[in-house]
Amino acid sequence: MDTNLRNYLVVTGGYWAFTITDGAIRMLVVLYFHLLGYSPFEVAMLFLFYEFFGVVTNLVGGWLGARIGLNLTMQIGMGMQVLALAALTVPDAWLSVPYVMAAQAISGIAKDLNKMSAKASVKSIAGSGEGKLFKWVALLTGSKNALKGFGFFAGAALMEWLEFRGALALLSALLFAVLIATVVLLPAGVGRMKSKPKFTQVFSAIPAINRLAAARFFLFGARDVWFVVGLPVFLYETLGWSFMEVGGFLAAWVIGYGVVQAAAPKMLRGHHPGGGSALAWVALLTLSPAGIALALGQGWPAATVLTVGLILFGAIFAVNSTLHSYLILAWSDQDKVAMNVGFYYMANAGGRLAGTVLSGAAYQSWGLTGCLWMSAGFLLAAAAISVTLPRGAALS
């Protein structure tokens, strides 16, 4: 087997395992603490440090990966996730809001170290060939999100089978085994810069990357402002769905979203992806949350509206996300990819942070409809920024 392909498969396998635990822990925390009587806003606050430290981690992680190698930063992330999972297995009396926020901070650092490392590694492994790079990025991103959906379902299923602590212990043990496998199989130094970069170099000097990062902030804020807290609590509390039904529905959505992401290169065949594509797809996406909000406001059946609306939102969002993930790599120099990707995913984490906090606050104040209108506003901002992006996949 070709060495680059082998390394790509090892990185992808490690990313898959991490992603399952990340989706599962998110579902476990949302459902368990809602069951303990936490309000939607309090549940959102449990993820505040998770998202905040994701911003910090991406900023520092790209610089760190460029200095010590992307495989090592990925493995550090896995080790921290094992610790975060184990930290939540303590008795209920220990699970205060500050304690859970601290455990989620560790998980947030772990997730973004792992994500940044895996995605930046693709550039180092695949090189600059446009066709292979787009295909490998789409496959990594799409398969990751499909497995995150499986993680949602696994979290809900394990909650009923092993309960909260048993589920966390099992996930921790499995991820530790994968960590050992990646240490054995991956070569050292993937993504390490030839010269030691200064920390100030993490801020990109390329205007296109800065604008793409700003658009990414609003794109992911638009998703999480209704998806993180508002949607699962609405399904459980208002529609009366069980844990398994909520977990299964969200799992199916994320799996479908991942399948579309992986298929994006075929869908866009013949269209050279660039800033113009990013603008067109985010403009189309804006119609989805606005349409769902209007339908719910007219009193249409909520279960039907959300099912159809989520399918449309997920498919269009998936293409948006894949285009962005490809463009940040296409617009980055081989030697600076780790720092550019770290900076870019700092904006991604910032959008998730804003969306998570606003999801709990907006749902508590205005319900799911308010979350959806806020999502549409975020997408309009992303579209306005995307107008300024270069039209092609190459910077000239």
Report which residue type is found at 201: Q
Is residue 201 within 8 Å of residue 335, measured between CB atoms?
Answer: no
Is residue 346 within 8 Å of residue 213, measured between CB atoms?
Answer: yes
Q: What are phi and psi of 213, to 5 degrees?
A: -65, -40
Phi and psi based region of residue 273 (left: phi greater than 0; alpha: psi -120 to 50; beta: remaining): beta
Evaluate whether residue 393 is within a structural domain: no
Evaluate whether residue 357 is within a structural domain: yes
Is residue 230 within 8 Å of residue 293, measured between CB atoms?
Answer: no
Evaluate whether residue 86 is within a structural domain: yes
The separation between the first and the last C-alpha atoms of the chain, rounded to the nearest angstrom, is: 36
List the domain range (segments joined by +) for residue 274. 3-190+201-386
Per-residue model confidence (pLDDT) at position 197: 58
100: domain CATH number is: 1.20.1250.20
Per-residue model confidence (pLDDT) at position 391: 75
Count of domains forming the chain: 1
Report which residue type is found at 312: L
- For residue 36, give the 3-state DSSP assignment: coil
Per-residue model confidence (pLDDT) at position 393: 57
Rounded distance, CA 340 to CA 330, Å?
Answer: 11
Evaluate whether residue 20 is within a structural domain: yes
Rounded distance, CA 44 to CA 361, Å?
Answer: 8
Location of structure tokens 């030839």: 194
Rounded distance, CA 396 to CA 206, Å?
Answer: 11
Rounded distance, CA 322 to CA 43, Å?
Answer: 29
CA 243 to chain centroid: 22
Evaluate whether residue 248 is within a structural domain: yes
Task: Annotate 195-242 with DSSP letters as a single string.
Answer: S---GGGGS---HHHHHHHHHHHHHHHHHHHHHTTHHHHIIIIIS---
Report which residue type is found at 328: I
Per-residue model confidence (pLDDT) at position 8: 76
Evaluate whether residue 395 is within a structural domain: no
Evaluate whether residue 370 is within a structural domain: yes
The segments of the chain whose pLDDT lies below 70 read 1-2, 123-132, 188-205, 268-272, 334-338, 392-396
Closest C-alpha among 222, 218, 376, 383 to residue 286: 376
Rounded distance, CA 347 to CA 202, Å?
Answer: 13
Evaluate whether residue 396 is within a structural domain: no
Q: pLDDT digits over 112-160, tens only?
A: 888 878 877 776 666 555 556 777 777 777 777 778 778 888 888 888 8
Q: pLDDT digits over 185-233, tens only?
A: 877 666 565 556 565 555 566 788 889 999 999 999 999 999 888 898 8
Is residue 31 within 8 Å of residue 167, measured between CB atoms?
Answer: no
